[in-house]
């Protein structure tokens, strides 16, 4: 079948549109600009908290969870302190089933408190990582186009990523390892509050990875710990933002 010149142009135009749609996530989230500059001192990672379900003997209990609401109610997350804390640097956790908490966290297990929590099976857990995300004008010599970045969050089971006050990505159910991507358009360079939530109920594998695509070329890498700053609770973010902002201004005046 032969096509006219006009028909060939139309087909090429459709192919270009389809290619663009495949390359860029359909969902885009706009984040208002931050007034806090990026500090010169590198970050350490996010502040991690772990709550775990236990049976009558105090042993980790497998839970058939289907939503964050169910998880938080069962664990009384808002009514008690976490069972363990750590600093999450590169958030690239988990590959197999039946992992212990320490194995799952890898190098970040060195920051676990209490230390003995590393030997517990990773089941019936809710994990929350909080802090600040630095969005610079350039990273490793690469300009960030309009501070627009594609985030990729892989999880088995549920996950929720919040930046500023907006939910950027969410899977509020149990699942095998899968990835969600979202184009996030920041209002400009600066520091932004970030929270990554995760739950794993059963001994059927556990995965949590936070990555981004700087050039929007589908080449995802883990968000570097040098751009992540720990903050224990949202109530402390304002104070921390002010402190880090003053630190950044002080270093720039030197």
**Per-residue pLDDT tens digits for 208-254:** 999 998 777 778 899 999 999 998 765 554 555 555 544 444 444 44
Mean pLDDT value across residues 18-47: 78
Q: Is residue 53 part of a domain?
A: yes
CA distance 93 to 156: 10
**Cα-based angle 45, 130, 100 (whole degrees, multiple of 5):** 70
For 89, the token pair is 């640097």
pLDDT at 16 over 60: no
Residue 181 included in any domain: yes
Which pLDDT value is given to residue 209? 96
Instruction: State the chain's mean pLDDT as an integer.
Output: 83
Residue 46 has pLDDT above 80, yes or no: yes
Kindly state the average pLDDT of the residues 153-168. Answer: 95
pLDDT at 182 over 70: yes
Is pLDDT at 8 greater than 50 in this prediction?
no
Q: In this structure, is residue 10 part of a structural domain? A: no
Please say whether the beta carbons of 145 and 216 come within 8 A. Answer: yes
- The CA dihedral of 78, 45, 194, 192, to the nearest 10 degrees, is 140
**Res. 37: pLDDT tops 80:** yes
Q: Residue 176's domain spans which residues?
A: 28-253
**Residue 102 included in any domain:** yes
Tens digit of each residue's pLDDT (9 = 90 or more) over 87-100: 999 999 986 555 89
Supply the pLDDT for residue 250. Answer: 47
Closest CA to 161 of 122, 207, 208: 208
Among candidate residues 189, 190, 129, 135, the one with its CA nearest the CA of residue 161: 129
Alpha-carbon separation of residue 116 from 40, 95, 113, 217 (angstroms): 35, 22, 8, 42
Span of 45-49, 54-58, 162-166, 248-252 with lowest mean pLDDT: 248-252
**Spatial separation of the C-alpha atoms in residues 223 and 46, rounded to whole Å:** 11
Where does the pLDDT of residue 6 fall: very low under 50, low under 70, confident under 90, or very high at 90 and above? Answer: very low
Given this model, what pLDDT does residue 17 score?
Answer: 31
Match 């980790």 to its residue by tokens.
Answer: 60
Q: Residue 99 sits in a domain of what CATH number? A: 2.60.120.260
153 is a domain residue: yes
Q: Is residue 23 part of a domain?
A: no
What integer pLDDT is reported at residue 238 of this predicted model? 54
Each residue's pLDDT tens digit, 109-143 = 999 999 999 999 999 999 999 999 999 988 888 77
Cα–Cα dist 148/26, whole Å: 14
Residue 19 pLDDT: 33
Q: Give yes or no for residue 102 having a pLDDT over 70.
A: yes
DSSP labels, 31-79: EPPPSSPPPSSPP--EEEEEEE-B-TTS-B-------HHHHHHHHTGGG
Report the domain count for the chain. Answer: 1
C-alpha span between 101 and 103 (Å, rounded): 6
Percent residues over pLDDT 90 in the chain: 65
- Is residue 249 one of the residues assigned to a domain? yes
Q: Report whether pLDDT(175) > 80.
A: yes
Task: Determine contact, residues 127/49, Cβ cutoff 8 Å.
Answer: yes
Whether 179 maps to a domain, the answer reads yes
Strand 148-156 relative to strand 158-163, pairing: unpaired
CA-CA distance, 40 to 248, in Å (whole number)?
A: 6
The Cα 184–Cα 147 span in angstroms is 8
> Tokens representing 242?
């002010």
pTM: 0.82
């Amino acid at each position: 079948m032969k096509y006219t010149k006009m028909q060939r142009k139309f087909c090429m135009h459709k192919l270009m549109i389809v290619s663009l749609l495949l390359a860029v996530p359909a969902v885009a989230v706009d984040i208002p600009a931050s007034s806090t500059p990026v500090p010169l001192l590198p970050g350490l990672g996010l502040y991690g908290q772990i709550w775990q379900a236990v049976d009558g003997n105090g042993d980790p209990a497998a839970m058939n969870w289907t939503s964050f609401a169910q998880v938080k109610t069962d664990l009384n997350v808002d009514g008690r302190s976490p069972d363990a804390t750590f600093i999450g640097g590169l958030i690239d956790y988990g590959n197999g089933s039946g992992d212990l908490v320490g194995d799952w966290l890898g190098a970040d297990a060195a920051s676990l408190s209490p230390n003995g929590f590393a030997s517990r099976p990773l089941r019936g857990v809710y994990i929350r990582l909080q802090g600040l995300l630095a969005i610079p004008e350039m990273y490793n010599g690469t300009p960030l186009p309009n501070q627009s970045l594609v985030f990729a969050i892989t999880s088995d089971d549920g996950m929720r990523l919040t930046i500023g006050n907006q939910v950027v990505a969410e899977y509020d159910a149990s699942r095998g390892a899968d990835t969600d991507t979202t184009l996030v358009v920041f209002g400009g360079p600066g520091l932004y509050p970030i929270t990554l939530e995760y739950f794993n109920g059963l001994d059927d594998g556990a995965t949590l990875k936070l990555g981004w695509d700087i050039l929007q070329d589908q080449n995802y890498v883990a968000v570097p710990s040098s751009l992540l700053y720990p903050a224990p609770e949202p109530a402390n973010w304002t104070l921390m933002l002010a402190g880090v902002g003053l630190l950044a201004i002080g270093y720039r005046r030197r």
